[in-house]
Amino acid sequence: MTKSTGPDRHLDNRRSGFADNKGRSGSARASVPGLGPLLNIFRNLPMLPVIVIAVLVLSFTIDGFMSVGNLQNIMRQLSVILIAVTGETLVLLIGGIDLSIGAAIGLASVCGAFAMHYSDSPMVGLLACLATGAAIGALNGFGISRGGLQPFIATFGMMLTVRAIGFLLTGGLSIGKLPKFVLQAGRLNVEGLPLVFILGLSVAVLMGLVLSRTVFGEKIYLTGSNPRAAAFSGINVERLKFQVYLIAGTLAGVAAFVFMMRLGAATPTAGDQLLLPTIGAVVLGGTSLTGGEGGIIRSISGALLVAILIKSLEIMGAQFWDQMIVIGALTALGSALGAWLSRRRTRESKREDLMELIEQMPAEQESSAARMRD
């Protein structure tokens, strides 16, 4: 088995989560015997120590925080966020951003509820959610990849448009009386785990495997790291961007259906309170806003931290705006931490390249001398 060198090794080091992290983990094991695996986990999941400390502190300061009922409530909150952060992670990895994901969840839930009212079929409702989300993602992708729009502007305009359509369709009212199957499935627990949480986690894990184990995932990382190099290597960058936004929109449709399962209703404002927690979770997890670095498992850790904080603030009686202040501050700190870690990894990569070059010099000199003797 050959050692990964050059750009491929750096690409491995910028990944995290389900991908195989090589290069620096080996140096860590060499420099700190016995602690290499632990340091590798902390390097890939920078929020893990924070989560552990937060859980320990909250379990001692809030009565019933570790109760089964409260943990199940946290899992139910995570169900929709996990799917949303999965789509947002894919977009950020190619150097984009999707501000319309919350509004897309709202409109997709409305369309899915209308479809179920007319058909009384959960499957038709799911297809309506998927179609609505995919259409929004396709429009975002087309405007960015073909129209040359900046991702921030394109998705911000889409957010306003989609939200307005949702209000026009419903008059700002919620839509209830969904099929009993949807309500029953949303309340179902499997071995103590809410079904909606299992669905959300399954979507995140599946996309994490696609991202780390397929050529499509390799293209996403390479495009986010260096779009020009990706284009020179034969990747159709514009088509890849379109595909990523299409997937993100489709995942918003999945999140909309899980939202209806969890709450038993649809509303055009379903995702309004999800945008900041979603982006905050992805950034807190360690995915770079500039693209090419991060992964799904990092975003899952960020989503877990956000869900724990939101639930603890709710128990303490904090208002919604108080929660958003905390999430906003943590997002800024997470972004700063991610930038610092990225600079540190870049310095380590350059140092490793220099050491490899120094090690190769004597061998090259010996081969040159041998050729001269011949």
Tokens of 312: 């603890």
Tokens of 337: 């931490």
The DSSP output letter for 178 is -
Rounded alpha-carbon distances, angstroms, from residue 21 to 230, 292, 362: 21, 14, 29
Beta-sheet pairing, 193-194 with 189-190: antiparallel
Are 125 and 108 in contact, with CB atoms under 8 Å apart? no
Are 206 and 141 in contact, with CB atoms under 8 Å apart? no
- Which amino acid, 39? L
Q: What pLDDT score was predicted for residue 363?
A: 56
Q: What pLDDT score was predicted for residue 291?
A: 84
Q: What pLDDT score was predicted for residue 35?
A: 58
How many other β-carbons are positioned within 10 Å of the β-carbon of residue 232?
9
Sign of dihedral through CA atoms 41, 97, 200, 217? negative
pLDDT in tens, the chain (374 residues): 444 444 444 455 555 545 444 333 344 444 445 555 666 666 677 778 888 888 888 888 888 888 888 899 999 989 999 999 999 999 999 999 999 999 999 999 999 999 999 998 999 999 999 999 999 999 999 999 999 899 999 999 999 999 999 999 998 888 988 888 998 998 999 988 999 999 999 999 999 999 989 999 999 999 998 899 999 989 999 999 999 999 999 999 999 999 999 988 899 988 888 888 898 889 888 888 888 888 899 899 889 988 888 888 888 877 777 777 877 777 777 667 666 666 766 676 667 767 777 777 665 555 655 565 55
Q: What pLDDT score was predicted for residue 55?
A: 87
Q: Does domain 46-347 have CATH number 1.10.3210?
A: no
Q: Where do the domains of the chain lie?
A: 1-44, 46-347
Q: What pLDDT score was predicted for residue 150?
A: 94
The DSSP output letter for 16 is -
Burial class (CB in 10 A: 0-12, 13-18, 19+), 117: middle
Q: How far apart are CA 254 and CA 193, in angstroms?
A: 19
Q: What pLDDT score was predicted for residue 362?
A: 63
Tokens of 104: 């897309």
Rounded alpha-carbon distances, angstroms, from residue 295 to 45, 64, 261, 301: 10, 33, 27, 10
Q: What pLDDT score was predicted for residue 135?
A: 97
Strand partners, 175: 266
**To which residue do tokens 């179609």 refer?**
131
Q: What pLDDT score was predicted for residue 165?
A: 95
Predicted TM-score of the model (pTM): 0.82
Q: What pLDDT score was predicted for residue 26?
A: 40
Q: What pLDDT score was predicted for residue 369?
A: 55
Q: How far is CA 157 from the centre of its chain?
A: 22
